[in-house]
Amino acid sequence: MELIIEDKPLTPVEQTRLSALESIIRENFLAYVAVGNALMEIREKRLYRTSDGRTWEGYCREIWDMGYKYADRLVAASKVIENLTPIGAKEDGSIDWERMPANESQARELSRLEPEEQKQVWQQLIETKQPSTPEEAPFKVTAKTVKNAVKSFKGEQLSDSIRQAGEQAKPRTHAKTSRQSAEFTQAWEGFLKQVEIEHNSGWKYTSRETLFATLNNLARRVGECGEQNIREQKILWRSNNLEKLLASGFGIFRLMDKIRIEQMETAGTWLVYGEYETEAQAEEVFRDLLLEPSNLQA
């Protein structure tokens, strides 16, 4: 148990000193924005290159003794701050840093969202931060609260996708070949509900890999245990299903030639997400992408 000691309140001199020290801490916290912007320019203009073929990964390790993934996170965080600047802007053109993420950890969590989504989630957080009554304690924004807000936002999108999937699975009376028993309907709705539970838990009890393996086995079973049958009959993974996933907000990625990651724009159309100088770098980025609940592997 933490020992609570009653102490004297701060004197005016101590309060002034505390404010000065907190300003130093705040300025150093915000230094990550400048660092991230500098790293972004170095990375995008390939200013790290040397005649002996130094890579971005090698540059981060040799010059700054940091992993390139951490450097990439600093870059992503600085982009978030740039995107949220209008929210913290004052009339005189300065920035109210009380209305901005306090550190790289908070900004990093927001980087998982699209720019407009970042603004929406952060605006909700800082509005919650303000107490509605003088007696109410102010809400403290931490990296954990930002993370939970992002998960909640993405979870709402997944819930809508699951609901749509359930509605699409209901039998249509006008289709002669479409039949669905009451038992199947009950089991399917239970399965979709469990997927939502697993997602909201952060895949704590059942991994996403297990779910994908289960779905693949189901596809093979429905296709009478043959990949050719699945392709010929267009069961489960046909193009219109991919379009439904895209429309529901999922990202679909594939690793090509071991060093290039591509993202599906529309069914049958792929855009280059990123090209990397080593297979290990490409595989690491690809693994990180698939850790996101809203990303799928083609």
pLDDT at 33: 86
pLDDT at 226: 46
Residue 287, CA atoms < 13 Å, CB-side half-sphere: 7
pLDDT average per 10 residues of sequence, the chain (298 residues): 60 86 73 88 91 90 89 91 91 85 87 90 80 57 86 68 59 58 82 79 75 71 50 44 68 85 78 83 84 77
Is the CB of residue 276 less than 8 Å from the CB of residue 285? yes
Is the CB of residue 232 less than 8 Å from the CB of residue 226? no
State pTM to two decimals: 0.47
pLDDT at 233: 44
* Local structure of 50: helix, strand or coil: coil
Q: How far is CA 68 from CA 33, 58, 184, 255, in A?
A: 16, 8, 48, 20
pLDDT at 229: 47
pLDDT at 75: 92
Q: In terms of DSSP H, where are the helices of 201-259?
A: 208-222, 227-233, 239-247
pLDDT at 171: 54
pLDDT at 118: 92
For the record, the structure tokens of 218 come out as 């189901």
